Chain A
Amino acid sequence: MSPRLTLDRVEGLPIIVVFVVLIACFIVASPEVFLRLPIYMSFLTTVPPVLVLALGLTFVIAAGEIDLSFPSVIAFSGYVLAMLYRDHQLVWPAVLAAVAAGALIGLINGLIVAYVGVPSIITTLATEFFWGGITTVISGGTSYSLRTVQDTSMWAVFVGKIGEFPLQALWAIGLTILLWFIMNRHRFGEHVLFIGDNANVARVVGVNVDRERVKLFTLMGTLAGFAAVLLTLENRNFFNTQGQGYLLIALASVFIGGTSILGGQATMVGTFFGAFIISMIEAGLTATGIQGFWVRAVVGLVFLAAVIFHLTMEQPQRRAKLAGVFGLRPGH
Chain B
Amino acid sequence: MGERTYRHIVRLEKIRMAYGNVVALNDVSLTVGRDEIVGLIGDNGAGKSTLIKIMTGVVTPTAGELYIRDERIDLSHYSVRRAHDWRIETVYQEKSLGEKQPLWRNFFVGRQITNRLGFIDIKRQKAITNDVLKNQIGFRGAGFDADSPVQKLSGGERQGIAIGRAMHFDADLVVLDEPTAALAIGEVQKVLDFVRSIKARGRACVYIEHNLAHVHELADRLVVLDRGEVAATFQRGEITLTELTSFLLDLQKRTMGGAG
A204 in contact with B98 given A187-B112, A190-B112, A193-B105 (CB within 8 Å):
no
Please tell me if the beta carbons of B101 and A264 are within 8 angstroms of each other in the complex: yes
Q: Which of B110, B117, B119, B122 has the most CB of A within 10 A?
A: B110
Q: Which residue of B lies closest to A9 (CB)?
A: B147
B85, closest chain A residue (CB): A206
Which residues in A have some Cβ–Cβ distance to B below 8 Å?
181, 185-188, 190-191, 193-194, 197-198, 200-207, 264-265
8 Å CB contacts to A: which residues of B71-127?
Answer: 79-81, 84, 90, 92, 95-101, 105, 109-112, 114, 117-120, 122
**How many chain-B residues does the 8 Å CB contact rule pick out?**
26
Tell me the bound Cα distance from A265 to B98 in angstroms. 11
CB distance from A266 to the nearest CB of B (A): 10
Q: Is the CB of A206 within 8 A of B84?
A: yes
**Are the C-beta atoms of A204 and B95 separated by less than 8 Å?**
yes
Q: Is the CB of A205 within 8 A of B110?
A: yes
- Contact between chains at B79 and A185 (CB < 8 Å): no
In residues 160-195 of chain B, which contact A (Cβ within 8 Å)?
none
Residues of B at under 8 Å CB distance from A? 56, 58, 79-81, 84, 90, 92, 95-101, 105, 109-112, 114, 117-120, 122
Complex contact B105–A190 (CB within 8 A): yes
**How far apart are B205's CB and chain A's nearest CB, in angstroms?**
17
Q: List 14 A-B contacts (CB under 8 A).
A: A181-B119, A185-B122, A186-B119, A187-B112, A187-B120, A193-B98, A193-B101, A194-B98, A201-B92, A204-B95, A205-B110, A206-B81, A206-B111, A264-B99
B101 touches A197 (CB 8 A): yes
A185 to B114, CA, bound (A): 9
- CB pair A198–B98 under 8 Å, yes or no, is yes
Q: Name which of B79, B100, B114 has the most chain A CB atoms within 10 A of its CB.
A: B100
Report chain A residues within 8 Å CB of B58. 203-204
- Do B98 and A264 touch (CB < 8 A)? yes
Closest B residue, CB atoms, query A188: B118
Query: CA of A190 to CA of B97 in the docked complex: distance in angstroms?
Result: 13
A197-B101, A264-B101 as given contacts; A187 in contact with B114, CB under 8 Å: yes
